[in-house]
Amino acid sequence: MDYPSPSIENVVQQQEQAKVMQFLSLFNEIDKHFDKILKTEVFLPYNDKIKRIIEGKYPISRFLKIYQNDLKYFGELRNHISHGLKVDEYLYAIPTQRAIDRLSDLVEKIIEPPLCIDHFRKEVFGVQYTDLLKNILDGMKDNGYTHVPVYSGEKFLWVITESWILQRLSSHMLDENFIDLRKVRIEHLYISTSSKDYLFVSAHTNIYQADEIFTQRKKRGRGLGAMFITEHGTSVEKIIGMISGNDVALIDDFVI
């Protein structure tokens, strides 16, 4: 038996309904995730949820602050769709495929924020307090290192930076206290930990939180040169990753 082929109008309606259902499903994922973050069982308007998360210190606070206009716009689109369905079950607003793709991207980034450790895990070059400065300089030059952790055995002491080395050597030269770089060790140079341009973060820190840390340090006029990643964000643990100031552009690729 031959069945009549569906009319073009019916096909279009089915496609529109599919887009609406996909859009609403994605939107509900975000809305429910906001409830989970805020741990609230009482009703809150969608825009109020966004506001509370932005003003709080949540893993996605930074991301929502940047993209709040996009999220609010999709909230308005959801309302137009839902109100039309409630009035006479007719679709007055149909999301485009571009809107669906954009919302899908936001869902992914909100529900599973990319972690720093997933993109910046690496073996970090570290040295001992008694190591020759010449060998360290060679390592920094050959590998482009700007921040090198210094240890005494397994105990973390501080971080050598290019500026620290320049200051130490310049100080000796100005005092006409010339030193033989072939023999000098780190322990022979003055140690100062008063001005730190590095910090430790946990492996659970996400890209948006890292971006916020770099941004706030810059606003306070205290630039951040390196962010060392350990399992729980303490200096007594093994360093399993690092984000240098030069990596900020890579972070921007995620955020922007």
Each residue of 68-123: pLDDT tens digit?
999 999 999 999 888 776 666 677 788 999 999 999 999 999 999 999 999 999 99
Each residue of 36-73: pLDDT tens digit?
999 988 889 999 999 999 999 888 998 999 999 999 99
Domain ranges of the chain: 8-112, 118-255
Superfamily of domain 118-255: CBS-domain (3.10.580.10)
Each residue of 127-149: pLDDT tens digit?
998 998 888 888 888 878 888 99
pLDDT band at 25 (very low <50, low <70, confident <90, very high): very high
* Those residues with Cβ within 8 angstroms of residue 227's Cβ, 6 or more apart along the chain or in another chain: 116, 198, 199, 200, 201, 210, 213, 214, 242, 243, 244
Q: Indicate the pTM of the whole model.
A: 0.78
Residue 50 to residue 34: CA distance in whole angstroms: 8
Q: Which pLDDT score is estimated for 164?
A: 79
Determine contact, residues 118/110, Cβ cutoff 8 Å.
no
Q: Which pLDDT score is estimated for 7?
A: 73
Q: What are phi and psi of 224, to 5 degrees?
A: -110, 120
Residue 171 to residue 244: CA distance in whole angstroms: 26
Q: Which pLDDT score is estimated for 2?
A: 54
The better pLDDT of the pair 166, 154 is held by: 154
